Amino acid sequence: MGLCTSKPSPNSGFPSPKSDPNLTGNSPIPTHGNSVPPPKDGVSSVTGDDEVVSTEQAKDVQNGKKSPFFSFYSPSPAHYLFSKKSPARSPANAGSISSTPKRFFKRPFPPPSPAKHIKAVLRRRHGSVKPNEAAIPEGSEAEGVTGLDKSFGFSKHFGSKYEMGEEVGRGHFGYTCAAKFKKGELKGQQVAVKVIPKSKMTTAIAIEDVRREVKILKALNGHRNLVQFYDAHEDHDNVYIVMELCEGGELLDRILSRGGKYSEDDAKKVMTQILNVVAFCHLQGVVHRDLKPENFLFTSKDEDSELKAIDFGLSDFVKPDERLNDIVGSAYYVAPEVLHRAYSTEADVWSVGVIAYILLCGSRPFWARTESGIFRTVLKADPGFDEEPWPSLSTEGKDFVKRLLIKDPRKRMSAAQALCHPWLKNESDVKVPLDILIFKLMKIYLRSSSLRKAALRALSKTLTVDELHFMKEQYALLEPNKNGTISLENIKVALMKSATDAMKDSHVLDVLASFNALQYRRMDFEEFCAATVNVHQLEVLDRWEQHARCAYELFEKEGNRAIVIDELASELGLGPAVPVHAVLHDWIRHTDGKLSFLGFVKLLHGTLIALAVIQTNCSDVSTIML
């Protein structure tokens, strides 16, 4: 939901994920040669089991009839606001043969599907009304929705503080207007006011979405690449969210104005700003969940104007060890783990990777004619890097995008790590923030066995200068003392220095309880590297085998020793019910009783080992974290 004064382009050939995912052959942004024939008038271009909305029904929407615009995700009441591709702002799309309205699928995937509960999610968020059965109640009709408390506790003096101007955007759940401060120090300054009618809030979830959006905007306020929040007001009919007015238009418009893609140098500047704000949000324990070019606005029309993240209507707080399970987002940008209903902040990084791919080559990395097809592609297909212009782009640029679009979230870079990638690290605007990932890794390290700590120390000694760059940046942010060591106090001070009110809701500071071991001792940089080395991320590198072999040689000299299976089981904390000989027999060399290379690699991963009863007569199945 963009807060901008730019007008929608009815002829845009790059439809938003909030519009139909079908593309036509004359789209200015290519789709790897995929050309979709336009549907006939009044007939959907999709056949099969999917329940679709025809272009004739789209005309009904413009006439105020029932709305078929329900996407695969669960939108907040303000989610469609200000989107230039929203149905309310693009009346030309209703009659266009190259664009069909949103679709609600009976079966987005054949069962068993990671998205099979989408329909139930939509019903819960929007109420019991099915998408094509009834319109959202307007005005007095909303009085039939009883038992909902629509009082937010916001100020009720909006009219006395702001003078409303012309409408600059309209979406499915409300509209936005330009406005001016009437009095005070900011008198005369223009702002954007998002108006959300309370009549649209027909479920408790919808109300909570608005409440949480305001809470997140207020908590995160102040970052240079995040839209500035001024105030929230309400009256009997509406909620008013007052924010900075960004007049430079959407990032999507800039991409189109440049012929569909950016040069590498210009793309670096954009990606640096995007990653800066995403890394900031993740440290605060906030996951955006709908990052895409339409949700980044330029403050002015100048080429070098700042980029601002907007639209926190789908955002949520997430604890460091928590996994979210509700399916939200936009089809082209949704991460695989979101469809699997187990995700955290890494899902945002995937979306950033999709944006980076589009910026550099002008095509979407995952494309299909339907949303269900897009989901399948996201889950199963790999992005292409063989067609132009990829062969002519830098090796670092391609590696950057590839490491953002890794399907396994454990192996994907974090936003802060991406800022340290060789492709970006020399950019002048790069300022690497603390990364919540290092605290997660340190927590696991401190709870590991002494044998695993020795293995990680050996692995950390094999890292290259580029791989150590991120760790050096993070260690410096912890402000070690004159001896070059850190303690629990350093970690606490560094976190509090970066803290906002959002950390209270996301419980990020609770991670400090895991570092009690550092209360009475200090950690030097060498041990910090061992604690924060990410084995899963190293695994995707071409030189992983070399890393592992070199680390094992060091481990053989410094940490490996003869060990019997029972002692290893005790070292790993395996209980008497575990069939240790069946589980650990290949971890130890039969020649000298020392840890084998296979055992060493398994130890590095800290894998969750499921001890199945298939190989034993034991009826108990245990799961142990090494």
Question: For 300-321, how does the pLDDT look when each residue is reduced to its tens digit (9 = 90+)?
Answer: 999 889 999 998 989 999 999 8
Q: Domain check: are 590 and 489 in the same one?
A: no
- Distance (Å, whole) CA 375 – CA 384: 17
Residue 145 lies in a domain: no
Q: What is the pLDDT of residue 589?
A: 84
**Segment of 85-89, 235-239, 560-564 carrying the highest mean pLDDT:** 235-239
pLDDT at residue 592 greater than cutoff 90:
no
Residue 6 lies in a domain: no
pLDDT at residue 605 greater than cutoff 50:
yes
Active site residue 510: no
- Distance (Å, whole) CA 460 – CA 454: 10
Q: Domain check: are 438 and 538 in the same one?
A: yes
Q: Domain check: are 283 and 336 in the same one?
A: yes
Q: What is the pLDDT of residue 198?
A: 93
Domain boundary among 392, 424, 456: 424
Question: For 189-239, how does the pLDDT look when each residue is reduced to its tens digit (9 = 90+)?
Answer: 999 999 999 998 988 988 999 999 999 999 998 899 999 999 999 999 999
Domain span at 580: 561-625
Record the pTM.
0.76
Q: Domain check: are 286 and 232 in the same one?
A: no
Residue 197 lies in a domain: yes
Q: What is the pLDDT of residue 146?
A: 56
Determine if residue 479 is left, alpha or beta; phi over 0 gives left, psi from -120 to 50 gives alpha, anything else beta: left
Q: Domain check: are 191 and 303 in the same one?
A: no
CB-CB contact of 70 with 126 (8 Å):
yes
Domain boundary among 381, 402, 424: 424
Residue 109 lies in a domain: no
Q: Is 198 annotated as a binding residue?
A: no
Question: For 523-535, how does the pLDDT look when each residue is reduced to its tens digit (9 = 90+)?
Answer: 999 999 999 999 9
Q: What is the pLDDT of residue 82?
A: 40
Q: What is the pLDDT of residue 176?
A: 86
Q: Domain check: are 188 and 263 in the same one?
A: no
Question: For 313-342, how does the pLDDT look when each residue is reduced to its tens digit (9 = 90+)?
Answer: 899 999 998 999 999 989 999 999 999 999
Active-site residue, selected from the candidate residues 20, 290, 435, 505: 290
* pLDDT confidence tier of residue 162, bands split at 50, 70 and 90: very high
Q: Domain check: are 470 and 518 in the same one?
A: yes
36 forms bridges with which residues in the sheet? 24
Q: Tell me what the mean pLDDT of segment 464-474 comes to.
A: 94
pLDDT at residue 116 greater than cutoff 60:
no
Instruction: Please give the mean pLDDT across all residues of the chain.
Output: 78
Domain boundary among 381, 397, 424: 424
Residue 544 lies in a domain: yes
- Distance (Å, whole) CA 172 – CA 76: 10
Residue 44 lies in a domain: no
pLDDT at residue 437 greater than cutoff 80:
yes
Structural domains counted in the chain: 4
Which CATH number belongs to the domain containing residue 373 in this structure?
Answer: 1.10.510.10
Q: Domain check: are 360 and 503 in the same one?
A: no
Question: For 529-556, how does the pLDDT look when each residue is reduced to its tens digit (9 = 90+)?
Answer: 999 999 999 999 999 999 999 999 999 8
Residue 36 lies in a domain: no
Residue 198 lies in a domain: yes
Q: What is the pLDDT of residue 519?
A: 87
Q: Domain check: are 467 and 493 in the same one?
A: yes
- Distance (Å, whole) CA 103 – CA 209: 23
Determine if residue 305 is left, alpha or beta; phi over 0 gives left, psi from -120 to 50 gives alpha, anything else beta: beta
Q: Domain check: are 568 and 553 in the same one?
A: no
- Distance (Å, whole) CA 449 – CA 595: 14
543 forms bridges with which residues in the sheet? none
Q: Domain check: are 367 and 222 in the same one?
A: no
pLDDT at residue 175 greater than cutoff 70:
yes
471-495 burial by CB neighbour count: b if 16+ within 10 A, else e?
bebbbebbebeeeebbbbebbeebb
Q: What is the pLDDT of residue 579?
A: 79
Q: Domain check: are 384 and 275 in the same one?
A: yes
